Amino acid sequence: MPMQLTLSPEIDQRLRQEAARLGQSEEALAIQLLNQHLPPPSPAGEPTPAERAAKLLALFEQLDAARQTAGEELGDDFYRGLDEARTSDRKLFPEELKGITW
């Protein structure tokens, strides 16, 4: 997809200098830099960040409802849902720590 960007003179000069130093065209360097700094595309079928945020909000609402119900224990589905809604791959509630930290 063709795209035209208007760069400030300072950025244009820095791009030209770095491209010359690396022996690349300005366009190739700009594409490389964009690829390095943009988040990777989501795989097909994976929820968008907005969908994940909505799911996380619903889980917190579920937590509030559970807290209001005296004596009701939170099920494993709640904790699993929190982990699935996170944007990080690091889980907050790993199965191997169940009963130890949560």
> Is the same domain home to 86 and 53?
yes
Domain CATH number, residue 23? 1.10.1220
Asked if residue 93 is part of any domain, the answer here is yes
- Structural domain span for residue 32: 1-38
Q: How far apart are CA 74 and CA 7, in angstroms?
A: 53
Tokens read off for 60: 């917190």
Number of H helices, E strands in the chain: 4, 0
pLDDT digits (tens, 9 = 90+) for 34-66: 999 987 777 777 888 888 889 888 888 887 777
Check residue 102 and give its pLDDT.
Answer: 64
* 11/30 same-domain check: yes
Classify residue 26 by burial, with Cβ atoms within 10 Å: 0-12, 13-18, 19+: middle
Q: Are residues 53 and 93 in the same domain?
A: yes
- In this predicted model, what pLDDT tens digit does every residue of 56-101 receive, in sequence order? 888 888 877 777 774 555 567 777 777 777 777 777 777 787 777 7
What's the predicted TM-score (pTM) here?
A: 0.43
Task: Give dist(CA 42, CA 51) in Å, integer.
Answer: 12
Residue 43 lies in a domain: no
Number of domains in the chain: 2
